[in-house]
Chains A and B, each alone.
Chain A
Amino acid sequence: MSEHSRREFLVRSATAGALAFGAKDLLAAQAAAADMTIAKWTGAEATSNSQIDKVAAQLTEKAIEGLGGMKRFVSRGDVVWVKPNIGWDRTPELAANTNPAVVATLVRLSFEAGAKTVKVGDNPCDLAEKTYDASGIAAAVRPLGAKVVLLDRKRFRETSVKGERMKTLLMYPEILDCDVVINVPVVKHHALASCTACMKNYMGVIDERRPFHQALPECLVDLTRFMKPRTGLHVLDGVRILQGHGPKGGNPADVVLKTTIAAGVDPVALDAFGAELMGRKPSEIGSVVKGNEAGLGTMDYRSLAREIAVS
């Protein structure tokens, strides 16, 4: 937070001023100051994949707009790393990966905010090339000019994270070298963590992560503590959520259409919201509770969030 405070202050006052000057209503001025937004689709239910993608893009735009626009997070000349969940060799309808339309919208908004380079990448569990392909994300962001990066096993670097459970982690230098990371998880079921979102999505910037599962909440807290200052924005994909047989899914019956996008700067609050979206209590989710205790954010997301109805 501290690294960004001056930039945030300037952006916020400028935006608020501009909005006030533009004689917008008071609510819109408040919107500029929101630290978390929840954009919900209230229009007719989207049925086809292309309709869902269109709604997803619209929701993403509104959620970012509610936070004060992408300029709050991305400055001119920045190198941006968009970090979706590209974990599994599954198609978008199966909700095992972040919705490609959401990722594409963030890439577009980043470029519009002046980003010099936008890189998109994750460390998939399945075969990387196939996963990037099946997820639809590579095809969605390439035409926008984003650089699709396949993380290279040989280029991870032992990095000191000074955590309580983990002292060092194998991290991907190209991600850490970026000016800003945009963390874009999808809300999914997970047999161990019950619900995963922002904090678990950081598993994609590291390698050799298998032993983590023996103390998942603690390890996620260490990882989030290290990554949070490097992350400008978290966008939670709740367009389609995977309600069971996560994190890989594969059965369309486990996918629930929620047409919701939440965005903000607090990963714990977003994860708490994600848990509720899945019908769980935030207090049941180990990483949310531990993240709250560690001061990485608040699990009382209602104190931050502003709902935006989109139709």
Chain B
Amino acid sequence: MTRRRVVNGPRVRRAVQLVFLVLFFALLVLARPRPGVDPSPLLHAFFHFDPLILVSTWLAAHAVPAAALLSLVVIGMTIVLGRVFCGWVCPLGTIHALASRLFHGRPRKPKRPDHWSRWQLAKYYLLVAFLAMAALGGHWVAIFDPLVLLYRTTTVALLPGLQWAVEEGSTAVWQTDPGIGPMRLNSVTNPVYELTRDHVFVVPDQAFLGAGWIAAVFVVTLALNAFRRRFWCRYLCPLGALLGLFAWRPLLRRKTRPETCNQCDLCGMACHGAAAAAPGDGWRAAECLGCLNCTDSCARQSLRFGPAGPWKRAAAEERLGLSRRAALGAAAGGVAALALVRANPQSRGRQNHPRLIRPPGSRPERQFLERCTACGLCMKVCPTGGLQPAIAEAGLEGLWTPRLVPKIGYCDYTCNLCGQVCPTEAIQSLTVEAKNATKIGLACFDTTRCIPYAYARDCMVCEEHCPIPDKAIYVVEVEVEDRQGNKKTVKQPHVDPDLCIGCGVCEHVCPYRDRPAIRVTSSNESRNPDNQPILAELDWDDPY
């Protein structure tokens, strides 16, 4: 009875998954900035193939970058084959599959039956709620997109964690230089350190604000696999839900031969998506990840995938069973959630957070939030490491969106990478010249701590570093008295608001490391006329 297959489906699938997983991380590592090299458009390939980013950005901003239309390929693939993107491509799905394997051992020996549950509909209702938000301009769904989630987590938490281990470990070895005889441990650790320093990590000691929370979300979703295999993919994933809707009547569907099936449930135990409600029966196309474990595990060859026309309706017990009433309720919930998320002065445009310094080229805040997915690609390419995930500065709606934190890293004068890589053009691509004509903030002195003001000594480190050719920081020599009453001259720095573009290098290099005596706030940012207190200098050459 047994027939040997030439091609082992699950084995091929695992190979494909591995390829995409490696590709995902390889593209992430390759995003490391290199002087004189423009970033490759391939860096955001995964995001451009992501239909959820396409749909939600289109709903929120009514516009998408042309490259995002590539995700129509994934939609087409899903219409024909079902959610194979989840089962074969999605790197986060692969990680969850591995975690599930870790918790539950080999897929053929689960601890308990693992069938379809009504709770798997939750992700569809969540998606509906999120898309209702998106239709009103709230782009929050994108921050839970699986590709975005993994990219952000890796950039902000996983890689910096690895970097910490490599840097601290190799530096400790370098300092103590242990070894046996002529063999030095350093000769092993130092090459690893140098390789990663020069080709993987961006800035020494790189770290991101709130990385712990971002890591925690990831760890919790991984831990949920202990409860049910691929918990995220089955119950929560908004991209999975979106693809599930497109897998309404796929051309390839599973068929059971009732005459040979003895309902042993080997297929149910091996199923990644918990697509079937009963042993060998009740298979739901929208929940099937196309992993091929069922056909592979069936000892009697009772299962096979075969073609079915889109006109062919699924049997009643194989339909997804979404309720119209629940969907409307979810949509209403999404609208309500957005109303609550925006119930703060920041979202109403009645205040501008002084420390919400957006990267140069960022659209006005409302349009910015309609597009930004908080994927972290801009933070990944920022050569100073100054772009950081916002926590509360942009309101809950702007959670984990990028902001410049000059104390951590400044906006490099000859760099325009963040705009070049932004997959949704929330940060617009600017030439270096245009970028240097774009104000992202304004520096101001805290004269109660600035050394030449407060302590009558020279300092000037900020002036030294100011990259504006004619210097946005200038000095005025003043005569002061010291404690003994001796007169001395000191050079007190001032900011020229017409020249300052808010790059923040002054704040970054200020000798004060706790609260710099020169600080950049979002004032004067070009993108927001409502946040420009300084009357711009009149251009007398103006023909009008």
Residues of A near any B CB (own CB < 8 A): 89, 125-127, 129-130, 132-134, 152-155, 190-192, 210-211, 213-216, 245, 247-251, 254
Closest to B413 in A: A89
Tell me if B471 is interfacial: C-beta within 8 Å of chain A: yes
Q: For chain B, what secondary structure do more than half of its interface residues adopt (helix, strand, loop), or is it mixed?
A: loop
Q: Is the CB–CB distance between A247 and B464 below 8 Å?
A: yes
Q: Is the CB–CB distance between B412 and A250 below 8 Å?
A: no
Q: Is the CB–CB distance between B412 and A130 below 8 Å?
A: yes
Residue among A130, A152, A154, A190 making CB contact with B464, cutoff 8 Å: A190
Smallest CB separation, B330 vs chain A (Å): 48
Q: Is the CB–CB distance between A213 and B458 below 8 Å?
A: yes
Q: Is the CB–CB distance between B471 and A245 below 8 Å?
A: yes
Residue among A126, A130, A133, A192 making CB contact with B460, cutoff 8 Å: A192
With A129-B34, A154-B167, A214-B458: A248-B467 Cβ-Cβ less than 8 Å: yes
Closest to B463 in A: A191
Tell me if B197 is interfacial: C-beta within 8 Å of chain A: yes
6 smallest beta-carbon distances between A and B, as pairs: A250-B469, A251-B469, A133-B35, A210-B511, A130-B35, A192-B460
Give Cα distance in the complex from A273 to B510, angstroms: 32
Give Cα distance in the complex from A125 to B412, angstroms: 11
A126: chain B residues at CB < 8 Å are 412-413
With A127-B412, A130-B35, A191-B491: A210-B174 Cβ-Cβ less than 8 Å: no
Closest to A89 in B: B414
B471: chain A residues at CB < 8 Å are 245
Residue among B174, B197, B415, B459 making CB contact with A214, cutoff 8 Å: B459
Q: Is the CB–CB distance between A213 and B461 below 8 Å?
A: yes
With A89-B414, A125-B464, A154-B167: A130-B383 Cβ-Cβ less than 8 Å: yes
Residues of B near any A CB (own CB < 8 A): 34-36, 167, 171, 174, 197, 204-205, 383-384, 412-415, 451, 457-461, 463-471, 475, 491, 509-511
Smallest CB separation, A173 vs chain B (Å): 10
With A210-B509, A214-B459: A130-B414 Cβ-Cβ less than 8 Å: yes
Give Cα distance in the complex from A216 to B460, angstroms: 11
Smallest CB separation, A201 vs chain B (Å): 14
With A130-B414, A250-B468: A211-B204 Cβ-Cβ less than 8 Å: no
Smallest CB separation, A151 vs chain B (Å): 11
Residue among A127, A133, A154 making CB contact with B384, cutoff 8 Å: A127
Q: Is the CB–CB distance between A155 and B464 below 8 Å?
A: no
Q: Is the CB–CB distance between A127 and B383 below 8 Å?
A: yes
Smallest CB separation, A142 vs chain B (Å): 14
Residue among A127, A134, A192, A248 making CB contact with B466, cutoff 8 Å: A248
Q: Is the CB–CB distance between A154 and B171 below 8 Å?
A: yes
A153: chain B residues at CB < 8 Å are 204-205
With A127-B383, A248-B466: A192-B204 Cβ-Cβ less than 8 Å: no
What are 25 pairs between A and B in contact, CB < 8 Å?
A: A127-B383, A127-B384, A130-B415, A132-B35, A133-B35, A152-B204, A191-B475, A191-B491, A192-B458, A192-B460, A192-B491, A210-B509, A211-B511, A214-B457, A216-B458, A245-B469, A247-B464, A248-B465, A248-B466, A248-B467, A249-B469, A250-B467, A250-B470, A251-B469, A251-B470
Give Cα distance in the complex from A231 to B114, angstroms: 74
Give Cα distance in the complex from A89 to B469, angstroms: 12
Q: Which interface residue of B36, B167, B461, B466 has the most chain A CB atoms within 10 A?
A: B461
Closest to B170 in A: A154
Q: Is the CB–CB distance between A191 and B413 below 8 Å?
A: no
Closest to A214 in B: B457
Q: Is the CB–CB distance between A214 and B451 below 8 Å?
A: yes
Closest to A131 in B: B35
Closest to A210 in B: B511
Give Cα distance in the complex from A251 to B475, angstroms: 18
Q: Is the CB–CB distance between B461 and A210 below 8 Å?
A: yes
Q: Which interface residue of A213, A215, A247, A251 has the most chain B CB atoms within 10 A?
A: A213
Give Cα distance in the complex from A133 to B414, angstroms: 12
Give Cα distance in the complex from A245 to B412, angstroms: 18
Give Cα distance in the complex from A213 to B469, angstroms: 21
B465: chain A residues at CB < 8 Å are 125, 248
Given contacts A154-B167, A191-B464, A245-B470, 4 further A-B contacts (CB under 8 A): A126-B412, A154-B204, A191-B475, A214-B451
Residue among B204, B414, B460, B510 making CB contact with A134, cutoff 8 Å: B414
